[in-house]
Copies of this chain bind each other. A is one copy, B any other.
Amino acid sequence: MTLEIRPVRGIGAIAVGDDLVDQICAAAPWLADGDVLIVTSKIVSKSEGNLVEVPADGPEREAARADALATETARVVARRGPTTIVQTHHGFVMAAAGIDASNVDKTHLVLLPADSDASARRLRAGFQARGLNVAVVISDTMGRTWRNGLTDVALGAAGIAPFRDHRGETDPYGNELAITQMAVIDELSAAGELVKGKIDNVPVAVVRGYLGSGPDDDGPGAVPLLRDAASDMFSLGTAEARAAGLRDAAQLPEGTHADLPGLPTDPDAVRRALRTVADHLARGTTVTEAHPFSPNGATAALHLQTTATNPAALMRLGADTHRLRVALAAESVASVALPHDDGIRLDLSGAPA
């Protein structure tokens, strides 16, 4: 397979209601069946009127921009300084919800297309109506974790499978392939970006040679590329997740024996927790371990006592107990606190995975 990636030049400024298929066909009369068109999302949004009006400058502009961001945001993923990374209602995780103020006049912001897969299908149908069987990928520029610089990825697609699936294939050595799914519409978007400029009106690139012939149907679009927050190991920024951990600690359930899972308590986990708090307990607090220990579903216990007996010392012992319970929770050890006149017993159990 040899690919050719061509820019489509001569597409002018796009206004609301413009027929993109007309414009692209006029600029690229050489389009052929099986071509994959990589269309910058911005011209799709502009033609569909997915813009918001904003003041050209001043604090009102910033306020309008913040409003637009709030409207487009399903949840905030991370914030640092002026950067806000959110998951949009479409499911994309992007800085500023993909709202863009470039390549548009100063009184408008461009939003992402409302439904990029639907837009891709509409465009593909438009080309089909002109006798052209092509695939359409709607692309945008995104940042990513761990690596500097931006790349283009797919927001929507029609007429092309989002993945190339290697599951079940074996290599020449007989190993089954660990790599399963290549996100080819993201790679096509990246390839297309290489021939597009950011400011010289090349909003469309054509990849020729990737699809052997014209696609059979619209396919599932780009939605399969979206990983939901629950299955993402990086669903929150580190600082946000750390703050969530603090709130977890503030809300650590008091617990009762009925809640203790009754699973084996890992002595190493308990010792790690004790080391975590060692330098933070009040002077006079002592902790003794009881392993094994098994009444009431607890499989281990800790006894906290203080040498002093005044109210302040007892309150400090209570705070120390909460420190220790939180450190145990960080090690996946569940606990129940039993304050009594001589101190506090913590009954422990391993937590379900």
Residue ranges of A at the interface with B (Cβ–Cβ < 8 Å): 1-7, 13, 78, 80, 83, 85, 87, 92-93, 100-106, 141, 144-153, 162-163, 166, 169-175, 177-184, 186-188, 190-191, 193-195, 198-199, 201, 210, 224-227, 232-254, 273, 276-277, 279-280, 282, 310-312, 314-324, 326-327, 329-330, 337, 339-341, 344
Roughly how many angstroms separate A246 CA and B141 CA in the complex, as a whole number?
A: 36
Residues of B contacting A322 in the complex (Cβ-Cβ under 8 angstroms): 318-319, 322-323
With A233-B85, A318-B314 already in contact, the answer to whether A147 and B153 are too (CB < 8 A) is yes
B101, B170, B201, B327: the one within 8 Å of A172 (CB): B201
Residues of B contacting A234 in the complex (Cβ-Cβ under 8 angstroms): 78, 145-146, 234, 237-238
Closest to A224 in B: B148
Question: Copies per complex?
Answer: 2
Decide if the interface of chain A is mainly helix, strand, loop or mixed: mixed
Closest to A246 in B: B330
Roughly how many angstroms separate A279 CA and B276 CA in the complex, as a whole number?
A: 27
Closest to A176 in B: B102
Is A183 in contact with B151, judged by CB distance below 8 angstroms? yes
Residues of B contacting A87 in the complex (Cβ-Cβ under 8 angstroms): 146
Residues of B contacting A78 in the complex (Cβ-Cβ under 8 angstroms): 233-234
Closest to A96 in B: B178
Minimum distance in angstroms from A31 CB to a CB of chain B: 14
